Chains A and B, each alone.
Chain A
Amino acid sequence: EPEVTQTPSHQVTQMGQEVILRCVPISNHLYFYWYRQILGQKVEFLVSFYNNEISEKSEIFDDQFSVERPDGSNFTLKIRSTKLEDSAMYFCARRVGSTEAFFGQGTRLTVV
């Protein structure tokens, strides 16, 4: 199965800075997800994105988060003002048909 590719693999940022995490390149996929996993904890749903619109979002996905597909291929997650507790692995996933999701390799975000 073709994989979802995420960049960067690891990003270190200072608290308060903006970060953009990317799924690239993707075409002809309509359904995407962002999940995060704080080290040692469960995988948490952030947001789902269908046909260029947010389909569903969790309580975690507050005003500091946003998603978009700016050029029809890249699918981005933006965190406007990072906090220490945003340090986590962030996974992008695409849904295949009506069943499973295939995950990218993740971006490790470290906020210092």
Chain B
Amino acid sequence: AQTVTQSQPEMSVQEAETVTLSCTYDTSESDYYLFWYKQPPSRQMILVIRQEAYKQQNATENRFSVNFQKAAKSFSLKISDSQLGDAAMYFCAYRSANTGNQFYFGTGTSLTVIP
């Protein structure tokens, strides 16, 4: 099974500042997908951003961007201009492009945004 590790159980950021959430993963495959999901207090899982491993360019979605380092098996999420609504649990996830279908999730990082 693939392993996804989020080493920061909790993070905090001042409103309007930038924060980076870390994620590393373990795989022997070369073709896969990586995701960041947000889980607000409502507990719904919301897709924030995705990255295809074959793409060298880092994905960006408005204030959210990733730093994908394939050789290091690292996939961090940067949130710029943090807003109060960004407060949530953030889960990093991996899915193989070839074998199996399931998504493997990390243990999550709880982000607090300080007004």
Contact of A48 with B43 at beta-carbon distance under 8 Å, contacts A42-B107, A99-B33, A100-B33 already known: no
- Count class of interface residues, chain B: 20 to 34
Q: How far is the CB of B26 from chain A (nearest CB, A)?
A: 15
Instruction: Check A7 for interface membership: any CB of B closer than 8 A.
Output: no
Instruction: Check B64 for interface membership: any CB of A closer than 8 A.
Output: no
Chain B positions 22-56 with a Cβ under 8 Å from a chain A Cβ: 33, 35, 37, 42-47, 50, 52
Whether A106 lies near B44 (C-beta < 8 A) is yes
Interface residue from A31, A43, A91, A108 paired with B101 (Cβ < 8 Å): A31
Chain B residues positioned under 8 Å from A103 (CB to CB): 37, 44-47
Whether B101 lies near A55 (C-beta < 8 A) is yes
Whether A89 lies near B50 (C-beta < 8 A) is no
Taken together as a complex, chains A and B put the C-alpha atoms of A33 and B44 apart, in Å, by 15
The 8 A CB mask of A51-90 against B (1 = contact, 0 = none) is 0000110100000000000000000000000000000010
Chain B residues positioned under 8 Å from A104 (CB to CB): 44
Q: How far is the CB of B66 from chain A (nearest CB, A)?
A: 14
Chain B positions 60-115 with a Cβ under 8 Å from a chain A Cβ: 91, 95, 97, 100-108
Interface residue from A41, A89, A95, A98 paired with B43 (Cβ < 8 Å): A89
Chain B residues positioned under 8 Å from A93 (CB to CB): 45
A-B contacts at CB below 8 angstroms, number: 56
Name the residue in B35, B47, B106 with the highest tally of chain A Cβ atoms < 10 Å from its Cβ. B47
Whether A91 lies near B45 (C-beta < 8 A) is yes
Contact of A56 with B101 at beta-carbon distance under 8 Å, contacts A99-B50, A102-B47 already known: yes
**Residues of chain B whose beta carbon lies under 8 Å from any beta carbon of chain A:** 33, 35, 37, 42-47, 50, 52, 91, 95, 97, 100-108
Q: Across the A-B interface, give the 7 residue pairs with the lowest CB-CB distance, nearest first.
A: A103-B45, A43-B105, A45-B102, A48-B101, A105-B44, A42-B107, A100-B50
Contacts beyond the supplied A99-B33, A103-B45: 18 A-B pairs with Cβ under 8 Å:
A33-B102, A37-B43, A42-B91, A42-B105, A42-B107, A43-B105, A45-B103, A48-B101, A56-B101, A58-B102, A89-B43, A100-B35, A100-B47, A101-B103, A102-B47, A103-B44, A105-B42, A108-B43
